[in-house]
Structure 1
Amino acid sequence: MKLRMLCWLLACGVSLASANNEPVAARVNGEAISEFRLERYFAEYLEDQGRAVASIRNPKAYKQLRQAALDALIDKELLWQESRKRGIEIDEQAVRAQVEQTRQALGGAEKFRRRLQDAGFDEASFSEYTRRELAAQQVFAELSRVDAPDEKQVRAFFAEHRAEMGTPEQVQARHILVKVAEDADAATIEAARLRLMQMRAAISQGQDFASVAQSGSEDASASQGGALGYFARGQMVAPFDAAAFALKPGELSDAVRTPFGWHLIFVENHLEAADVPELQGLETVRAYLARQQQTQARRQVLAQLRAQNRIERIDDD
């Protein structure tokens, strides 16, 4: 079980013996998923997507996301119930090991005890909840098991996509920017160019490009000495792109005009395009196709379980 899920169980505060009078969000074959459980899980669901409840201003988007979170809880309940039907048993050693992992991740026995208490668990009920999650994961893995990708399919996919898998031609560069608006008058444009050329002259006379960029560039990269890292063709605006790829390592450009202003470009390295080695490419394709097959199999398993079981979604009403 993933540590994040274990921490969610503690944060969630959902015990196995939920109160009968709690508002219910859904029932799976009569087993209730409480609104409280949904609320706690919804916050975690949004956090995984880098969002917060307060940031969702569109009521329709809010409802769709909440329904997706409820779908996930329903799937968890379906898998747990399926594990019971199939008689899957998780041995005590596996449960104890998982609980111990959580205890250590949370900072030791005392912090673990407080978190359990705050969440409404004791160690026995948390161990039982851990057992349920492990059983659900095991049945999901068994039901969605797939064979390795067919080798002919792997080789055909690799042949079709090999060019995309290689490393494109790239340059590593720094730049200095003197900003000037596109619609500026001729005198302003020329004054900006002259400022840039003064910096170029200083660099040509031996001053360090990065130091001049730090003091003179008006781009956000100035604090890094104008460093842009590596970039491939087409990632920069056309005039900048053309100038950078025309330079050899160690060469300094003339003034380059773009919609942002005047640039001075210094190329530090130039990497030619490289084809992916066949063995590496085939292994990458095998892993990719295996993930695709696994994802499809998991979707099919969940769709089948939803179709075969009785689900009542009260929260949607």
Structure 2
Amino acid sequence: MKLNNWLILLTLWGPVALCSNEPVVARVNGEEIPAFRLERFFAEYLEDQGRAVGNIRNPKAYQQLRQKALDALIDKELLWQEAVKRDVVISDALVNDQVEKTRKAVGGTEVFARKLNDAGFDEASYTEYTRRELAAQKVFAELTTVAAPDEQQVRAYYEEHRSEMNRPEQVHARHILIKVAQGASDATIEAARLRLVEVRREITQGADFANIAKSRSEGSSAIEGGDLGYFPKGRMLPEFDAVVFAMAVGDISQPVRTAVGWHLIYLQNHLDAVDVTEEQGFAMVRTYLAQQQQSQARLEVLEQLRSRNRIERTDSY
């Protein structure tokens, strides 16, 4: 868990007095989840996805995301309660170490104390929250322990997918395109080239390539700042390929002429070809299958906890 989340998540569990008059969005075995907990968790849930509440314009999408956040909050409560049932013990040393990491992460003792005070808590209640959060994580890890993938399964998967593991040489580039129609006059062709010469001068003097591409490129990738993503040799026009695969990362080309016009190319990254050995392939498959098994185990454990506990949803959204 990200350290900066610990203080935010503290607001999800607190003194009953803070939520006694709050509307309730769910109950887990009688334990109430008040609306303020959901609202604060929802903001954090969206932040982890790189989104913000104010940016969600579609009411249906808002409702679906809010429901997923409530589901996650219920799962968190289920895991806390399961840890209590199993008498999971977290040592003082581990708790204090996590609290100290958080204190340092937020800027030191004074900032930490101020953040706690703003949230209506003291260090003792935060320490107790940390203990419960670590206990929930521990019980979840124990419940979702899976065996290593069977070697026969690993070999079968490798044989089926071995061709997908090799990667050809690839580059990640952006470009700015000035189109030139077929049969255009020499003067038109030269005018287009000179436009890119001027653009290149602006970029080398500090202008942002992506921003200029958005406003001045005539290619379909302009809206993405000229981003062409990763591509291997042979995907682009021959003249373009010849230049971009000879560039060094960070370079900006001179104007490049192709059948569609003039291009200014920025090389963002270059990946060498990778030929995966059998040993490397097996290792990749083991990691992949283990992750798949772990994900499935997590889904199954949460589903079992939901089915054998009493959950009442009262959220009106």
Aligned to 1:257: 259
Kindly state the Cα deviation for residue 91 of structure 1 after the two structures are TM-superposed. 1.7
**Please, what TM-score do these two structures have when normalized by structure 1?**
0.78
Distance 1:156 1:193, change over 3 A: farther
Per-residue deviation at 1:28? 0.1
Q: Paired residue for 1:156?
A: 156
Shift of 1:273: 4.2
Q: Distance in 2 between matches of 1:89 and 1:313?
A: 30
Equivalent in the alignment of 1:203: none
One-letter amino acid of the counterpart of residue 255, structure 1? R
Runs of 4+ in 1 over 6 A off after TM superposition: 172-175, 196-199, 210-213, 221-224, 227-230, 264-267, 269-272
Give the superposition deviation at 1:43. 0.7
Distance 1:278 1:63 in 2: 47
Q: Give 1:157 shift.
A: 1.8
Partner in structure 1 of residue 189 of structure 2: 193
What is the TM-score normalised by the length of structure 2? 0.78
Q: Which has the larger radius of gyration?
A: 1
Matched residue type, 1:143: L
8 Å contact from structure 1 (residues 180, 192) kept in 2: no
Q: RMSD in angstroms over aligned alpha carbons?
A: 3.8
Q: What residue ranges of structure 2 are gaps of 5+ in the alignment?
A: 214-225, 248-253
**Equivalent residues of 1:196, 1:264 under 8 A apart:** no
Match of residue 146 from structure 2: 146
2:219 aligns to what? none
Q: Tell me if structure 1 keeps the 8 A contact 2:157–2:285.
A: yes
Other-structure match for 2:251? none
Equivalent runs, 1:231-250 vs 2, <5 Å: 231-233=230-232, 238=236, 240=237, 242-245=238-241, 249=246
Unpaired runs of 5+ in structure 1?
Answer: 200-209
Contact 1:256 1:262 (8 Å CA) reproduced:
yes
Counterparts of 2:74 and 2:172 in 1: how far apart (Å)?
A: 50
Which aligned pairs between 1:220-235 and structure 2 lie closer than 5 A?
220=209, 231-233=230-232
The question of 1:168 aligning with 2:154 is answered no
> Identity of paired residues, percent?
54
Give the equivalent residue in structure 2 for 1:202. none
Q: Structure 2 vs 1, CA of residues 212 and 278 (structure 1 numbering), >3 Å: closer, same or farther?
A: farther
Give, in whole Å, the separation in 1 of the partners of 2:156 and 2:121. 53
For residues 100 and 77 of structure 2, the distance between their equivalents in structure 1, rounded to whole angstroms, comes to: 24
Q: In the alignment, what sits opposite 2:3? A: 3
Other structure's SS at 1:315 match: coil
AA matched with 2:14:
S
Matched residues in 1 for 2:307 and 2:122: separation?
Answer: 35
Distance 1:297 1:222, change over 3 A: closer
Are the aligned partners of 1:169 and 1:272 in contact in 2 as well (CA < 8 Å)? Answer: yes
Counterpart secondary structure, 1:26: strand
Q: Deviations over 1:195-254 (max 9, x none)?
A: 46789xxxxxxxxxx98872399x947989xx9999533795x5x2x334467848x997
Map 1:261-300 → 2, pairs under 5 A:
261-263=261-263, 273-300=273-300
Distance (whole Å) between structure 2 residues aligned to residue 270 and residue 119 of structure 1: 47
CA drift at 1:127: 1.0
**Contact residue 166 and residue 275 of structure 1 kept, 8 A:** yes
- Deviations 1:155-184 (CA, angstroms, capped at 9, x unpaired): 222222222222213368897x66136xx5
Distance in 2 of aligned mates of 1:96 and 1:272: 46
Residue 93 in structure 1 maps to residue 93 in structure 2: yes
Q: In the alignment, which residue of structure 2 is the partner of 1:207?
A: none
Partner of 1:205: none
Match of 1:112 in 2: 112
Mapped pair 1:103 → 2:99: no
For residues 295 and 109 of structure 1, do their structure 2 counterparts lie closer, same or farther at Cα, with a shift above 3 Å needed? same
Number of matched pairs: 293
Structure 1 partner of 2:200 = 214
